[in-house]
Structure 1
Amino acid sequence: MTKETYTVTKLAGPYVAGHRVSVGDTLELTENEARYELQTQAIVRKGEKLPSDKPTPELEQIQANARGETVTPAEPAASEPTPAPSAPTPTPAPAAGDGAAKTSSPASKPS
């Protein structure tokens, strides 16, 4: 198997793929060794932009699933436009002669 070079990010813990690491270290890993670490943003391929300190929503979901928790999507940021709520569509009343069932009260029945 061929190995690629990866750079350790700020989101990594003290170990990546079984290697003790620090931020900025480089590792030679196979595709299988790197798969999980790439998903958790602990590493990036050498030369790629390092992620920000804050995990992506996808990573937060993966981490929550691993802890057995459920995560609700975050509220949109203030800079994102919020769609206006749509008014409910009124339901038209049935017409008088449309075959609607007629009810009669017991007092109105002839004796």
Structure 2
Amino acid sequence: MSFDPELVKRAQMLLTLDHSLTQVKDILLREGYPDDQVAELIDATEEVLNYFVPPEFDDTKIAIDIRHSHKDRDDPSPDLLVDRLSGRIQLLTPHLQETWRVANEIRKTLKCECQYQ
């Protein structure tokens, strides 16, 4: 099925504004886009997103999940990984400002801890 280019552009814009797929679907249907095209586009998008696997981490890493107002509470994906041995911080959601804030606070805390040991 070929999609209306305006439908695809609108869906992309809504997804970049951190709307969930169900919210995007509801908005597109309310805006009058054809039901079958919206449903197929959302299904295809969801199928593609399922291919992205969150990074694996082992017992040497601490996973930190930041509560975001726009993030689905059922989504268990972490925002930061902190290496227990080196203290290295890996940002998994660097596009979110809260992630940077928390990472900077962790860095400050780790720096203070190292000075007292």
- Determine which structure has the larger strand proportion and give its number: 1
TM-score by length of 2: 0.22
Relative contact order, higher structure (CA 8 A, sep 6+): 1
